[in-house]
Structure 1
Amino acid sequence: MSKELTGELLIGAARVPAAAGTMKALDPSTGELIEPEFAFGGAAEVDRALRLADEAFDSYSHTGLAERAAFLDLIADKLEAVKDELAARTALETGLPLAQFEGEALRTAAVFRKFAIVVRQGRFLQAAIDPAQPDRPPAPRMDHRLQKVALGPVVIFGASNFPISYSVAGGDTASALAAGCPVVVKAHNAHPGASEIQGRVIQQAVAEAGLHEGVFSLVRGAGNEIGEALVDHPLVRAVTFTGSEAGGMALYRRAQQRPDPIPVFTEMTSVNPTFVLPAALAARGAEIGAGLIQRAMYNVGQACLKPAILLAVDGPGFQELRDAATAEVEKAAARTMLTPSIHDSYTRNVRRLEDNGAGLIGAGSAPVGAGDGQSLLYEVTGERLLAEPALREEVFGPAILLVRLTGPDQLLEVARAFRGQLSATLHAEAADRAAAEQLLPILERRTGRIVFNAFSIPQEVSYASTHGGPFPATSDSRFTSVGMGAIERFLRPVTYQNFPDELLPQPLRAANPLHLWRLVDGELSRR
């Protein structure tokens, strides 16, 4: 497989050798380095990629909807064609199961196909027409027509924990390309081979679709310098990031200090609290306890939607929930974590839980390899959780915190103590309705998704998906990074006032040549 990888950067149509050193991928399960050498770039490579992206913007952002949708479908076809190669390399670079990445590759291809549908439908343009009213008293109205247009070149930082679906060919790339934005991806150094395979797929699709080469580039670098160069570059119009709060906020603050500040759409941290109300606890406490642990252990607990904190009022069903959760944790084998640095961070954060009063009540099998993450279940009281904010912070990895609450009032007090979350979950029965009605407004203020009688992971990629929430879950709770609504991050409105029909964009012309749904004088219409 390594013979098929060149390790080069992909800048426009070119494959570019190292300009600032090289690296090799690491097999975290063995600690061994994997061939080949992968190139690092610097400020010059960033500048070249973004100048190409800027050159591509005018033509790519004005591609017809059918042409752009066909391009997205072509990427999906090519991802499916390399599924086996991509999954094998990703498994090698992460220590996670091969089958998991075969599925992730197919799901990622499906996301590109869904965005192709979004583009064909054209609703993302939000076309609106207020026809001229020359005889309107007391003053005439000129013709006004609005559509959304692409922002410009977008920089995407690949994530470590989902090396395909949040990486080079992930949802950020799909939604930005769907919006009409050229993309420059900063590949994550934890999986350089998987990143190259995905990058070549998109590079080839750009060429076969006859698009400007600057529509896509992939760069890689050591340390913070390349990331800073990407955010600072004057041609960048938006940035996406998935990772730690510290990393996301460093990029966000840097972008706001530019002479021309730009949006940085971050997805950072969340504990996705799960609240079990009394009737649900009494009816199915054991089922909820076991089910939550099973979902939380997905990806060795290295998922942004991991249900990390389980909260219930001490009473009927609590012991059954506790026992079932403990038994499920104790069945879990220690597994390789994504990178040595993530494992080290996990170890430190587990120690933080213990230093702040969390008591260990269940543990999976002991680690065998140096990078293995051991599954752990801790317990605290509601009083302790309220007193120690550190207990309400994310532990990225296979550790869960069970919170024993004294009553309904403390449950509401604890709910108010949480910062912004990507999701929150409520388990309730009919008898819990009054308590649920009290809890829901609190959760609505703190999250972008509320789950009822299910678990926070997995999440569907759909028109109704929200993967976002108030700070620090994200830097802008008005947007989602998952689902068809993710395209909205990369659009802005433009109004065309008093234009002749022949100069209007096709979606706004009088004859509606694309047969789009439009808001005409306040009414939805296809005329």
Structure 2
Amino acid sequence: MTADVSYDPRSGATAASVVHTTPAEVEQLVARAAAAAALVGQASPATRRAWLAAGADALVDNREELARIADWETALGWTRLDGEVVRAANQMRFYADVAVEGTYLRAVIDPATATTPFLARTNVPLGPVAVFGASNFPFAFSVFGNDTASAIAAGCPVVIKAHPAHPLTSQRTFEIVHAAMQAAGAPDGIAALVFGYETGTALVQHPAITAVAFTGSQAGGLSLWKLANQREVVVPVYAEMGTVNPVVITPAAGHDITAIADGFVQSFTMGSGQFCTKPGLLLAPRGSGATAAIAAALDSLAPEPVMLTSGIAASVTRGVAELQSAGATIAAQTPPAPGGWSSPAVLLSAPVDLLQRESRLLEECFGPVGVVVEYDDLDEALEAVDRLQGALAASIMIGEDDPDAASVLSRVERKVGRVIVNGWPTGVAFTWAQVHGGPWPATSSPATTSVGAAALDRFVRPVAYQGLPDQLLPPPLRADNPWGVPRRVAGVLQPGAQP
């Protein structure tokens, strides 16, 4: 029987293993989720908030144990992981509060008139959702991370595919949170955890699964998207895959290159460069000294990246070689740490005329790798931006009263889901306005986000009810509005009265 093997990235030593879920077990767990779907979907948002709050409290109560296990499997450091446990708990509470606020339901009531019937519309939960945990965030984007928390908040039970990079962390996190949610009254089928590559395929193809949420590589996300589209009943795949996130420095901002260089190096090496929002391509005006300044900043910071898996470490080496074959040259690099799955941090430079469609220079190299390109004319840089794949985020470095700011913004915003001015994209706040998505192929569904209040929208669909008596309407549409959600009645927005 095969298993997900847990390794220590610092040494490469085997830590432990978790046996893959059998096909029979998958069937049982998905059936349990399907059986719980009606109960979870019909529970009030306030009830779901109580379940998620109990899980969040359990995460915080066990943060020391969870961070220790995760550090053993990921080498991301206890301090960061301890903070990430708290972040995951706060995400659960946030999405629960979004559900209680009720705007995501989009409740609308059109009373009957002499010429039109009574119509009412609200969003309803899809049903059981398959969530694929990420490798680089073992808590915030994994078992009970953004996707799982927002799906449950929206009223959907979840079957979670654990990432093989941290099976022990996934297993223990699930045990702690699931038990706490059950103790708070949630049904057993509100969440399940499975292991194994073939298990993931079976989940996507299972007829009871109504949607798929994924955070990871482009190859992995597209594979799941194709599987879902081959089903007899096609279901949506919300894959956050990421691509190269650009940075554009205008001529007016070039005078502050030392500060920009320091920020770029810190951002593209943060977490060993294993952030989906890592800036990968920096476009700077020639004569600003950008390449030399960034190389100096990298030498000064001297990071010693340790990668999550041996596969990621190998892909960094392969990616740097491919970038060189595409015409880039190494401007600076740090020596890898001894032992384990270490990697150098690498800065490359390339001529602007090589930034052509299909060039490897316009593709992501996941890891502590950045490419700097110096342009002679801003239009050259913007034409290169036009040729980029869709990305999650972009940074624009502008000067005070910069005459180029508006034109750069108008070109960059076509390519990304989030634009940052005079700042860096690493780090994604879970807030009401947040968008963590982007045009294809950064995500498979550009109209959605995997972080922020709108994350719930992925797991509901609108249903209109015509001529129904009040007692048959869903709670958000009944006259007494028992969930206290905001509604638009006869075109007039009525605020909710949250419980």
User: Normalising to structure 1: TM-score of the pair?
Assistant: 0.91
Q: How does 1:68-467 map to 2 (within 5 A)?
A: 68-133=48-113, 135=114, 140-221=115-196, 224-282=197-255, 284-315=256-287, 318-319=288-289, 321-330=290-299, 331-386=301-356, 389-433=359-403, 435-467=404-436
Give the Å deviation of 1:437: 2.0
Give 3-state SS (helix, strand or coil) of 1:415's partner.
helix
2:472 is matched with which residue: 486, 503, 507? 503
2: CA distance, partners of 1:366 / 1:211: 47
Once residues 92 and 175 of structure 2 are traced to their aligned partners in structure 1, the CA distance between those partners, rounded to angstroms, is: 16
1:516: how far off?
2.2
Q: Secondary structure at the match of 2:354?
A: helix
Assess, with a 3 A threshold, how the Cα gap between structure 1 residues 388 and 128 changes in structure 2: closer, same or farther: closer
Once residues 387 and 71 of structure 1 are traced to their aligned partners in structure 2, the CA distance between those partners, rounded to angstroms, is 48
In structure 2, what is the Cα distance between the partners aligned to 1:285 and 1:363? 19
SS at match of 2:402: helix
Deviation at 1:157, TM superposition (A): 0.7
**Is this contact kept in 1: 2:269–2:303, CA < 8 A?**
no
How far does the alpha carbon of each residue in 1:433-482 deviate from its partner, in whole angstroms, 9 at most, with x for none?
Answer: 3x222222222221111111111111211011101011110001000011
CA gap of 1:216–1:387, structure 2 versus 1, over 3 A, is: closer
Q: Look up the equivalent residue of 1:447 and give its one-letter code.
A: V
- What do the CA deviations read for 1:64-120 (whole angstroms, capped 9, x no partner)? 121111111111101101100110000000112110000000011000111121122
- The AA in structure 2 aligned to 1:495 is A
1:41 counterpart = 2:21: yes
SS at match of 2:349: strand
The answer to whether 1:494 aligns with 2:494 is: no
Question: 1:292, CA displacement in angstroms?
Answer: 1.1
Kindly state the Cα deviation for residue 23 of structure 1 after the two structures are TM-superposed: 4.1
Cα separation, 2, equivalents of 1:126 and 1:120: 13
Shift of residue 205, structure 1, vs aligned partner: 2.5
Cα distance, 1:388 vs structure 2: 6.2
How far 1:508 sits from its partner (Å)?
0.9
Name the CA distance, whole Å, in 2 between partners of 1:59 and 1:427: 50
Asked if structure 2 preserves the Cα contact closer than 8 Å seen for 1:265 and 1:476, the reply is yes
Question: What SS does structure 1 have at the residue aligned with 2:137?
Answer: coil
Letter in 1 for 2:459: F
Structure 1 residues 417 and 24: CA distance shift in structure 2, 3 A: closer
Q: Per the alignment, do residues 370 and 84 of structure 1 end up closer, same or farther by CA in structure 2, a change over 3 Å counting? A: closer
How far apart are residue 304 of structure 1 and its match? 0.2
CA distance in 2, matches of 1:526, 1:306: 40
CA contact (8 A) 2:298 2:332 kept: yes
Look up the match of 2:12: 31
2:141, 2:336 → 1: CA distance?
A: 30
Q: Deviations over 1:415-450 (max 9, x none)?
A: 1111100011111123423x2222222222211111
Q: Residue type matched to 1:306 in 2?
A: K
CA displacement at 1:495 relative to structure 2 = 1.2
Structure 1 residue 370 displacement after superposition: 4.4
Letter in 2 for 1:21: T
Offset of residue 361 of structure 1 = 1.0
The share of aligned pairs that are identical, in percent, is 39
SS in 2 for 1:425: strand
Maintained 8 Å contact 2:67/2:81: yes
Which whole-Å CA distance do the structure 2 matches of 1:473 and 1:24 have between them? 29
Distance 1:296 1:518, change over 3 A: same
Is the 2:20–2:194 Cα contact (8 Å) retained in structure 1? Answer: yes
Shift of 1:364: 1.6
Aligned to 1:17: none
Code of the residue aligned with 1:32 in structure 2: it is: A
Query: Could you tell which deviates more after superposition, 419-428 or 117-126?
Result: 117-126
Output the CA distance in 2 between the equivalents of 1:409 and 1:61: 51
1:524 Cα offset (Å):
0.8
Counterparts of 1:46 and 1:387 in 2: how far apart (Å)? 42
Q: Is the 8 A contact 1:286 1:323 kept in 2?
A: no
Rate the CA distance shift 1:246–1:126 in 2: closer, same or farther, 3 A.
same
SS in 2 for 1:155: strand
1:58-73 matches, within 5 Å, as 58-73=38-53
Alpha-carbon contact 1:202-1:216 (below 8 Å) kept: no
Aligned counterparts of 1:84 and 1:375: Cα–Cα separation in 2:
30
Q: CA deviation at 1:366?
A: 3.7
| Residue matched to 1:21 | 2
Separation in 2, partners of 1:41, 1:226: 7
Which structure has more RCO (C-alpha within 8 Å, separation ≥ 6)? Answer: 2
Gaps of 5+ in 2: none
What SS does the aligned partner of 2:71 have?
Answer: helix
Name the CA distance, whole Å, in 2 between partners of 1:387 and 1:186. Answer: 35
- Structure 1 gaps of 5+ residues are 1-19
Tell me how far apart the structure 2 counterparts of residues 327 and 408 of structure 1 sit (CA, whole Å): 25
Is contact 1:161-1:302 (8 Å) kept? yes
Task: Tell me the distance in 2 between the aligned counterparts of 1:124 and 1:91.
Answer: 36
Aligned in 2, Cα 1:141/1:81: closer, same or farther, shift over 3 Å?
same
Q: Deviations over 1:258-306 (max 9, x none)?
A: 0000001101122110000011112x11111111111111110011000
- Aligned residue pairs: how many? 495
In 2, Cα distance between the equivalents of 1:21 and 1:515? 49
The secondary structure found in structure 1 opposite 2:356 is helix
Shift of 1:387: 6.8
Q: Is the 8 A contact 2:415 2:439 kept in 1?
A: yes
